[in-house]
Amino acid sequence: METFKLDYKIDLNNIPSNLSVHPTPILYAPLNSQYKKLGEKHFKAAERSIGKHNIKFDLIHSHFTWSSGYASAKLKEKYDVPFVVTGHGYDIYGLPFKDEEWKERIEYVLNSADRIITVSNSNLSYIKKLNVKTPVHILPNGYRPDQFHPMDMEKCRKALGLPLDKKIILAVGNLVEIKGHNYLIGAMEEVVKLRKDVLCFIVGGGETENRLRKQIKNAGLEDHVKLPGSKLHNEIPMWVNSCDIFVLPSLNEGNPTVMFECLGCGKPFIGTKVGGVPEIIVSDDYGLLVEPANSEKLAETILLALDKTWDTTKIKAYSAQFTWAEIGKNIVDIYKTLL
C-alpha cells in the first residue's frame, strides 16, 4: 500500500515559497467504465478544493488530457480564465483512439484549451488525426539539475547497499505492460551468457510485478535481475548515479522524464525508438536506441553500451537545454500570450 501514499505520487520536497499544493485524491475502480467517470469526479474535487482554500487564479494549466484536462476544461467554463493543457503520452497517442466516446471527450478537452503543449513531434502527429483547432506547442519534458546531477558512483552504491564490483544496469518506471520490462528481462537472459559481472535493477511497482518475478525465476536470473520495488523520487538520483547504463525498454512513450534525469546525471540512455525518444537521443554520444519488443537486439545493444567508453561531461552538457528552468521559460512565454 506504500505506493498509494501521496509521498510516492507528489514530490513535496523543496517547494518554492510562492507555490501551494492542495492534493485532491479520488477513489475509483480501475475499470474503463469507472475511468470514463473520473473526469467529472475530478472536476468536482477540484471545485471543492478551490472553495475550501479560497483559491484565486488567473490561468489553469493541466497535465494530461484525462482526467485533469477534462476537469480544467469544466473549470474554464465556470471561471472564464485561460486554460493550457499538456498532453504527455498515452493520453494523446492511445486514449482518444480507444473508441468514439473517448475521442469526443479528448477532442472536447483539446478544443476547450487556449493552448496545447505536447512533449514530442510524435505526439503532434496523433493530435493532427483528431478534429482539433487549438494551437499546439512542442516542449519536451525536463529535469531538476539540483536533484539529478553527476555524483560519486562508489558513494551512491555504498549508500544503497549495492555491490561495487558489478556492472549495474538500471531501469526506473511503473511496472506496467507498456514499459516493456519483460523484454529487458529477456535481454538479460542473453547478456548473462556472455557476462557474469552484470546486475540489473528494475525500480518501480505495478500490476506486472508478480509476472516479472515469475519470469526472472523461470529464467534462472535471480542473481542478475532484481526488483527492489518503488522508491521515493528523492532517492532516484542515487540509483541513477549508481548505474553504468540506464535502460528504458518501452513499447510506447510520450517523452519520458527519466530519460532527461538520466542524461542530467551524465549517464548513457539505452532505449527504444518510440514516441519522442529518437527526438532527444540524436547521437550515439548520448545513448543507443533499438526497435521495441526485441529482446535479442536489446541484449546486443546493452552489451555494446557496457563496453563503450562514455563521456559523462558531454552527456551532462547536452542535458542542460532540458532543465525545467529552460523549459519553464517557454511555458512562461505561452502564459504571457494569454494573460
pLDDT, tens digit (0-9, with 9 covering 90-100), for 188-207 = 999 999 999 999 999 999 99
Q: Residue 245, exposed/middle/buried by CB under 10 A (0-12, 13-18, 19+)?
A: buried
**Element (H or E) spanning 289, and its range?**
strand 287-290
Look up cell 542473481; give the residue: 223
Q: What is the pLDDT of residue 247?
A: 98
Report field, pTM of the whole predicted structure over 0.75? yes
- Dihedral angle of Cα 39, 43, 46, 50, to the nearest 10 degrees: 170
**Domain range summary for the chain, segments of one domain joined by +:** 11-141+324-338, 153-322
Q: What is the pLDDT of residue 183?
A: 98
Q: What is the pLDDT of residue 3?
A: 46
Q: What is the pLDDT of residue 162?
A: 98
**Contact present, 226 and 201 (Cβ < 8 Å):** yes
Name residue 202's beta-bridge partners: 171
**Contact present, 251 and 178 (Cβ < 8 Å):** yes
For domain 11-141+324-338, the CATH architecture is 3-Layer(aba) Sandwich (3.40)
**Contact present, 265 and 148 (Cβ < 8 Å):** yes
Q: What is the pLDDT of residue 32?
A: 83
**Number of C-beta neighbours around residue 24 at 10 A:** 16
Q: CA 36 from chain center: how many Å? A: 23
Same fold for the domain at 11-141+324-338 and the one at 153-322? yes
What span, in angstroms and rounded, lies between the C-alpha atoms of 109 and 104?
Answer: 9
Q: Give the chain's residues under pLDDT 70.
A: 1-9
What span, in angstroms and rounded, lies between the C-alpha atoms of 133 and 297?
Answer: 40
Q: What is the pLDDT of residue 6?
A: 55
What span, in angstroms and rounded, lies between the C-alpha atoms of 21 and 190?
Answer: 46
**Contact present, 269 and 290 (Cβ < 8 Å):** no
Q: CATH number of the domain at 153-322, please?
A: 3.40.50.2000
CA R_g for the chain? 21
What span, in angstroms and rounded, lies between the C-alpha atoms of 77 and 93?
Answer: 26
Among the listed residues 127, 123, 101, 64, the one whose alpha carbon sits nearest the alpha carbon of residue 252: 123
